[in-house]
Chains A and B, each alone.
Chain A
Amino acid sequence: MSLLEIESLSLTIGDTPILRNIELSVAPGEVMGLVGESGSGKSITALTVMQLLPYAARTTGRVAFDGIDILAASEDQMCALRGDDIGMVFQEPMTALNPVKTIGEQVAEGIRWHTGASRADAEERARKMLDRVGLPAAQFPLSRYPHELSGGQRQRVVIAIACALKPKLLIADEPTTALDVVLQAQILDLLRDLVAENRMGLLLISHDLAVVTEMADRITILRHGEVMEAGDTARTLSEQLHPYTRQLAQASMHVPARARTHEVGQGQPLLRVDSVTRDYPGRRTSLFKRSAPTRAVDNVSFSMTSGQSVALVGRSGCGKSTLARMILALDGPTSGTIRFRGQEITGKSEADLKSARRDMQVVFQDPYGSFDPRQKVERLVAEPLHVLEKKPDGAERREMVANALHEVGLSPRDMDKYPHEFSGGQRQRLSIARAIITRPKLVVADEPVSALDVSIRAQILDLFAELNQKLGIAYLFITHDLIVARAISDEVMVMHDGRIVERGKTSEVLDHPQSEAARALVGAAPDLHRAIARRLREQG
């Protein structure tokens, strides 16, 4: 018998239908993967099971958990279920924990609430649970606060809270999306072990097909609030009977067509980084004392030529973004020099940097945060024109913006809209339009596609590739996602603890990694082909 059974569930908010006839079930000890792009209704489905829906939501159909009719359950009944029989893990470990409570209190809270255990008993159980999720007492006493932990450690605490009472069902909504690949692999291992130990049902929600394939026994694919296809993971993904399944699978492995690639060391270097180091001053421990400085970037040297596409890969916190900021002259190195087109850009005034800025632009990760919400697209995209010798007049400016929008596949009519009127993918296109409007020689892109859905991601990667061919722009891609690196770069540099530990042709580094850091990244990266193959092999 199934643990969770959802039958013909429909949900509307106001007059807008959100879910239509959802069918889904999870058996004890089974991992069910729920896949779909943003807005497909994955999270709403999870919230329906928890009955944490917004007030305006109206549901029809049947949701049964362990024999209880969830849709008819009272709030009191749900309170007893939530956190006890059903646990939930959220995407963002940075905000899922209360910053003013210790991790011990937060894990013990649910135990005391549901079992009425004494403080000492609850703390003892909390301790055991934290040990189980890989946070041993020696390093992680109960008295630690969330800000003292890294992202991966915090997600372990969130999992400890969710699993503290050995729930029958765990709902994990994008549990690893905010983490780098190595942490992702560790967290997925942990979840897999917990499922096996407690015969827990796991509803794993993700936009990442590869992650779900590695984890889930069965898979349900959602689109626009409807189930497109459901079934055994390996069979569904190897046969790809439904066109949308095929589309998703292809998009997640998409490699843009690039006519020519640029070889290493051709011609004059466009960018030359010479033994650059960046220290951040340590925290002030008293009026006269500081703790030792943190070295974010440690003696990094490399160079790039025109038109070359280089990926800088590494785990979160390895110094990638700091290095990028220094290259963009938004931050100065503690020592070392950076030369762009032969000119030194370190320690220059903003006025002296103008000509360099014209040829150097940036695309950020977050398509929501990188635009001033109060300005229209015309002004936003035209922002870099500020550095031109001769400032274009109004009509010229509109013409240039229109051209840039056209180049990234948007309509010139979009010029008079505000950023909130665009979807995430469209905003990333705007971001690229802004970056290419001055016809730069180098674009630094900091995780430019990691916030996007797979199909949108494929389109944006194509756009990057196309612009590289058409305009000869060199790219420095900063990413933790090896699939992106493989798709778009000629060369890969692997960064670890502030140093560049490996550099070479993309295929060579990714297929035959030499350094330990590179091997860890490659080993942990989810790969759809490999995952499907393994599943098929296991099933014989």
Chain B
Amino acid sequence: MTLRLDMPEENLASILGKAFGNRSFLAGFAITALVAAVALVSFLWTPYDVTRLVIADKTQAPSLAHWFGTDHFGRDILSMIMVGARNSIAVALVAVGIGVGIGVPLGAFAAARGGLVDEALMRLNDLVFAFPALLSAIMITAIFGPGAVNAIIAIGIFNIPVFARVARAGALAIWQREFILAARAAGKGKTLITLEHVLPNIVTLLLVQGTIQFALGILAEAGLSYVGLGTQPPMPSWGRMLFDAQTRMVVAPWMAIFPGMAIVITVLGLNLLGDGIADILDPRSRRRR
């Protein structure tokens, strides 16, 4: 029997087509790209040098010369936001990466194995969870010295149990489904089933958690910088700028407003992007748009 097999493969073009039809993806992508572009441009050019202090120009309101105003050392806020973008984003992204890279396999493994292994892994998780994150981050940076890299590691470690938990909870629900039983009846092992069936079905969950953790990462970096253990001066970071602004809210509100907006816009962009990607990856959402 011969059957004609002339069906189009779903290729990159059709996925791109889907992406361009998805408003939340487009908006998220535009915002995220803008933020990334700003961070990249800051390597080459900023309106002012962020390491030079011009005390004469301190706490100036936004003007044509300084669009976003200046801080209490007379530095240009716009330039600081541009440079800060790369610090804040790098710290948050890598920290989320560490959390996903270690936490998700751990959670998926615990869900697949079950029993004692699961129990042991999850109690270990609880142990890490139980430490106040900021306090332990202070401990880690106190031992290994302050700086952006150590801040990344410290924040990353606390992302691990978060992702492990989310991945495990999601995976456990998927393991109960009948199609997993069908895959087992087809002779597939737990690793293969995890890769083929479980992970693709919890991607949405992880993306949502990822965007939340990213926002928390920026804030955590801000917290560490505040106590002097994160990004070291004179390098600016958004969090540091916020905390510098805290005591000057009344006299120089722009010092808080602009870095705050930078954080809000970045997180919003990533959220939209995450939602968009989740939609695009979900075959069932196709007909809706």
Contacts and interface: CB of A to CB of B under 8 A. Distances in A.
Contacts of B182: 362, 364, 370-371, 383, 431, 434
B283 A373 contact: yes
Contacts of A386: 186-188, 192
Nearest to A353: B187
A364 B178 contact: yes
Contacts of B1: 403, 406
B175 to A, nearest CB: 12
Contacts of A364: 178, 181-182
Contacts of B177: 369
Contact of A370 (B178, B187, B192, B284): B178
A362 B185 CA distance: 7
Contacts of A516: none
A372 B9 CA distance: 19
Interface string A369-402: 1111111100000011011000000000011001
Contacts of A418: 283-284
Interface in A328-373: 328, 330, 350, 353-354, 357-358, 360-362, 364, 366, 369-373
Interface string B25-39: 000000000000000
A493 interface: no
Interface string B4-15: 110111100000
B185 A328 contact: yes
A374 B3 contact: no
Interface string B170-209: 0000000111011111111100100011001100000000
B178 A398 contact: no
B178 A384 contact: no
B188 A398 contact: no
Most chain A CB within a 10 A radius of its CB, from B10, B179, B184, B196: B179
A413 interface: yes
Contact of B3 (A354, A383, A406, A416): A406
Q: Chain A interface secondary structure, helix, strand, loop or mixed?
A: helix
A242 interface: no
A374 B195 CA distance: 12
Contact of A372 (B4, B197, B282): B197
Most chain A CB within a 10 A radius of its CB, from B5, B182, B283: B182
A449 to B, nearest CB: 16
Nearest to B197: A372
Contact of A383 (B7, B9, B186): B186
B3 A412 contact: yes
B187 A387 contact: yes
Contacts of A420: 283-284
B147 to A, nearest CB: 41
A398 B2 CA distance: 12
A402 B179 contact: no
B5 A384 contact: no
A398 B282 CA distance: 23
B5 A399 contact: yes
A415 interface: yes
Contact of A361 (B10, B185, B197, B200): B185
A402 B3 contact: yes
Given A398-B5, A416-B8, A384 B201 contact: no
- State which size class the interface on A falls in: 35 or more
A361 B281 CA distance: 30
A373 B201 contact: yes
Given A373-B201, A416-B8, A384 B186 contact: yes
Contacts of A369: 177-179
Contacts of A416: 7-10
A330 B189 CA distance: 12
B283 to A, nearest CB: 4
Contacts of B281: 374
Contacts of A361: 185-186
A330 to B, nearest CB: 6
B7 A366 contact: no
Interface residues of B, number: 29
Given A366-B178, A372-B197, A350 B3 contact: no
B265 to A, nearest CB: 31
Contact of B185 (A330, A354, A398): A330
Contact of B186 (A357, A366, A415): A357
B195 to A, nearest CB: 12
Nearest to A355: B187
Given A350-B187, A357-B186, A406-B3, A372 B179 contact: yes
Nearest to A431: B182
Contact of A412 (B5, B8, B184, B282): B5
A502 B282 CA distance: 48
Interface string A408-426: 0000110110101000000
A386 B183 CA distance: 10
A406 B201 CA distance: 29
A383 B178 contact: no
Interface in A421-464: 431, 434
A235 B183 CA distance: 49
B198 to A, nearest CB: 9
Nearest to A406: B3
Nearest to B188: A386
Contact of A357 (B178, B187, B197, B284): B187
B285 to A, nearest CB: 10
A330 B181 contact: yes
B283 A374 contact: yes
A467 to B, nearest CB: 16
Contacts of A370: 178-179, 181-182
Contacts of A328: 185
Interface string B125-164: 0000000000000000000000000000000000000000
A405 to B, nearest CB: 9
Contacts of A375: 196-197, 200
A433 to B, nearest CB: 12
Contact of A415 (B7, B184, B189, B197): B7
A383 B179 CA distance: 11
Contacts of B183: 372, 383
B7 A413 contact: yes
A370 to B, nearest CB: 4
Contacts of B283: 373-374, 376, 418, 420
Most chain B CB within a 10 A radius of its CB, from A357, A372, A386, A399: A372
Contacts of B9: 416
Contacts of A387: 186-187
Nearest to A418: B283
A350 B201 contact: no
Nearest to B1: A403
Contacts of A350: 187, 189
A67 B258 CA distance: 65
Contacts of B178: 364, 366, 369-370
A403 B3 contact: yes
Interface of B: 1, 3-5, 7-10, 177-179, 181-189, 192, 196-197, 200-201, 281-284
Minimum-distance CB pairs A-B, first 6: A387-B187, A357-B187, A384-B186, A418-B283, A369-B178, A370-B178
9 contacts: A350-B187, A362-B182, A366-B178, A370-B181, A373-B201, A374-B283, A399-B3, A420-B283, A420-B284
Given A362-B181, A370-B179, A372-B183, 9 more contacts: A330-B185, A357-B185, A361-B186, A372-B196, A375-B200, A376-B10, A384-B187, A386-B187, A418-B283
